Each structure stands twice: as structure tokens, then as C-alpha cells.
Amino acid sequence: MYTPLEDGFAAELKRIESLNVKAIAENATEDDVRAALGRTFLREEDFPVLLSPAARPFLEVIARRAQDETMRNFGRGIQLFTPLYLANFCTNRCVYCGFSTKRDIKRRMLNLDEVEAEAKAIAATGLRKILALTGDDPKRTGAAYLAGCIRVLAGYFSSVGIEVPSMTVEEYAMQVAAGADSMTMFQETYNHARYLDLHPGGPKRDFYFRLDAPERALMGGFRAVNLGPLLGLTDWREDMAAVAAHARWLMRKYPEAEISISLPRMRPHTEGGEVAFVPEDITDAILVQAMVALRCYLPQAGITLSTREPAWLRDRLLPLGVTRVSAGVCTAVGGHDPDVSKATEESGEDKPQFDISDGRSVDEMSSDLLRLGYQPVFSDWLLGGSGASELTGGVAEALRTA
């Protein structure tokens, strides 16, 4: 059993819970909303007010402020990345997930040659930022396997992120040494009881091991951490308040770290034509309210938007605070290089973790961004991976030794 970090986020989460965010939101008045919007820097108690039903009529006003804050802090650049699914072996039983151990899908993990082929294929699209993912199977695809994959990816990408099961500080340090620089960890829900309901078995069931993971990653040397609630698993206002508090707390404790937040919405998961899990309905209006409130409360936090959302909606959410989007996405293991894709097909592993709603390629995404007045940003950091595998000359040498 994991012992939570002594001065970790757990105590702060208890404090946030004691504020009773739900009640603040329910009792908020229009005057509270006006007062919150009148401040240059929003206070902690302003955030649930902006998430409240009373704030709904002010959505346009909040959205404008969110747009201003985004423009000031991030300008018109949107970072592009793509996830690379390395493996889908999984020993967890998350009731809402397409990779859960209970699901009858074929399992597969890429070998290093396949990782390299995938890396080449993705790098050829122009992307310089990659997010490596695995399921949760420490024996097959644990820290050592991941570090090996990262060493390969670092040769092709200037920034390598990971979205993998929670690790120890030492294991995180291994990934940093291999060339990773950013870490994504969705708590899924910050409601402990609900978390236990949704994760009946497997290593992920340990709530606190996951809750402390972003901090352990920073302790292990990661530069950037991306948090996220999976909206729809429980009361969305409570999870939004908790994730914002988590981000704010990490910013205070690790001011040098780049903290960003994803706002994925849970989609109904179907299995054999039957709906296997029904989340709370997070409407577009709720998603917008959550995003613009977050942008106003934490103007410097990055916001990531995945291809779970359809293209038309992603385009409209851009001005509201989004700073990073994925493109050219395949959520099955190995689907970028033709040969690797063929091997994937032959293995029978063709089930994605979740269905994507925005199938735009990197080129299509780039031209759509430009059309909307945004510039696709491919490179945002240089000292993580060298990204120099296919370069020659002085710059390549400098990148390799930098």
C-alpha cells in the first residue's frame, strides 16, 4: 500500500473538499459573478462562482475575458502533438475504458523497431512533439520498456511526453534521463469514493498513488505536467475545482514547472452494440463554461483539447483558451507506419481506446488553424529529445550534445 507524500496534494484536496464547492456554486448570485469578474486576479472562491448556474447568463462575458487572457499569455500559436500508443496490455478494470482488462480485445506492444518506424512516419508529418502511451501492465510495459521507447522517440522529436500508469520518482527519473520532458496524468475523478467505484481492480485502484503522481514526476525531473479530470464521471464542478486546485497548488510548490490541464469529456462506451458505461451528460455549454472559467482563474495554464471532440467544436473552442491540440491521431497501437499498421491488423488489435471524433491529419489541422487565424506550433522545447536522428551538420551535432 502506497503512503501518500507527507506534504503532497492530499491535504490540499481535503481542504478544497471542505469548502463545499457544490454549495458555493448552487448559492452563487449574479452579484457574486460580477464581483469575481471585476477582479484582475480571480480568487480561489471565485472559481466555483464562475462554474455556477448563476454564471451561465454571463457565459459570453466570461468567454471574452478568457479570449483576452489567452491572447495575452499565449498569442495565436497553437501547439500540435500526436499520441503514440505503444502498447495496450492492461491489468486495470476501469469500468469506462476501452483498454480495460475485461474487454475482449487483442493485446499488442510495439517493439523498438516498430517504435522507430512509427516515429519516422509521425516525424515526417512535421510534428516535433509526441505523447507516448501505454496501458497498465508493469511486467510487460513498465518503466524499462517505456524508457527504451523514449530513447528511440527522442531521436525524432524535440519534446517527448508520456501518458502512462503512475510511477515512482526513480522510474520517472529514468524516463527523463531517456529524453522525456512532459508527463500527463488524468486523475479521472478527484472524488475518492467514486474513484474506487470506477476502478474496482488493478494497480490503478490506489487513489493516492495516482494523486501524487504529477508531483513525483516533477521530483523526478519532468519540466511539464498535464492534469485532467475525465468530465462526466462525477459532479463536474467538484472535479473542475479539484483539478484547478491541483494545478494551482503545483504552480505554487514548483513555480518553474509548466502546468497544463486537459478537459476530456467521457463518452458513452459501447461494447458489442451495448452501452457499457453511461457518464453524466457534459453538454457543450458545460464544457465551454468549464474551459472559460479555468482560463480566467489560471490564465497561464495550458489547456489541451483532444480529438474526442469533433472538428467543428474544436475549432470553436480554440479562442476560449485552448493552447494545444492533437492531430493525425490514431488511438490504436501502431497505426502510423504502413508496415506497423499491417502488423497491427494481422494481430487483430484494431480496437482503439476510444473513438476519435476529429480525424484531421496534421496537414489538414495546420491549414484549418491558419484559416482560423492561428499558427500551428510544432516545436516548443529543444533540450528534451534531440530530434536530430535525420539531421546532419552543425545544428544536428549541437542538438545531440546540447
Partner 1 sequence: MSYSDEFTIGGRALKSRLFIGTGKYGNDSMIPQIAESSGSEVITVALRRVDFSNAKGNVMQQIPKHMQILPNTSGARSADEAVRLARLARASGVGDWIKIEVISDTRHLLPDGYETAKATEILAKEGFVVLPYMNPDLYVARDLVNAGAAAVMPLGAPIGSNRGLATREMIGILLEEIELPIIVDAGIGKPSQACEAMEMGAAACLVNTAIATAGDPVRMGAAFGEAVRAGRNAYLAGLGRVLGKGAEASSPEEGTLTGFLK
- From the list 11, 23, 112, 402, which residue makes contact with partner 1 (rule: CB under 8 A)? 402
Least distance (Å) between residue 14 CB and partner 1 = 24
Which residue, 54 or 122, has its beta carbon nearer to partner 1?
122
8 phi, psi to nearest 5 deg: -85, -165
CA 158 to chain centre: 18
Q: Exactly one of 112, 177, 285, 383 binds partner 1 (CB under 8 A); which one?
A: 383
Cα–Cα distance for residue pair 392/211, rounded to 1 Å:
43
For cell 485532467, what's the residue?
228
- x/- mask, partner 1, residues 68-97, rule CB under 8 A, reads ---xxxxxxx--------------------
CB of 71 to partner 1, least distance (A): 5
CB of 270 to partner 1, least distance (A): 37
Sequence length of the chain is 402
**Residue 392 in contact with partner 1, rule: CB under 8 A:** no
Size of the site for partner 1 (CB under 8 A): 45
Residue where the block lists cell 551538420? 393
Residue 281's CB is within 10 A of a number of other CB atoms, namely 11
Told to check if 219 binds partner 1 by CB under 8 A, we report no
The interface region with partner 1, picked from 29-37, 82-90, 195-203, 392-400 by CB under 8 A, is 392-400
Least gap, CB of 338 to partner 1 (angstroms): 19
Q: Which three cell numbers stand for residue 215?
A: 508531483
Q: In angstroms, what is the minimal distance from the CB of 15 to partner 1?
A: 20
Restricting to residues 102-161, which ones interact with partner 1 according to CB under 8 A? 123-126, 128, 158
Region from 58-66, 104-112, 198-206, 377-385 binding partner 1, contact rule CB under 8 A? 377-385
Question: Which range binds partner 1 by CB under 8 A, 105-113, 202-210, 253-261, 331-339?
Answer: 253-261
State the nearest-atom distance from the C-beta of 136 to partner 1, in Å.
Answer: 30
CB atoms closer than 10 angstroms to residue 332: 18
Distances (CA, A) of 4 to 31, 168, 207, 220, 255: 40, 12, 10, 16, 22
Write out the binding residues for partner 1, residues 294-353 only, by CB under 8 A: 300
Q: Which of 3, 13, 2 is CA-nearest to residue 250?
A: 13
Q: Tell me which residue of 129, 157, 88, 107 sits closest to 386, measured CA to CA.
A: 157
Q: Could you list the beta-strand ranges (E) of 40-157.
A: 77-85, 129-133
Residue 326 grid coordinates: 492533437
Considering the rule CB under 8 A, would residue 279 count as an interface residue with partner 1?
no
What is the number of alpha carbons within 13 Å of residue 120 lying toward its C-beta? 12
Binding stretches for partner 1 (CB under 8 A): 71-77, 123-126, 128, 158, 223, 251, 255-259, 300, 366, 370, 373-383, 387-388, 390-391, 394-399, 402
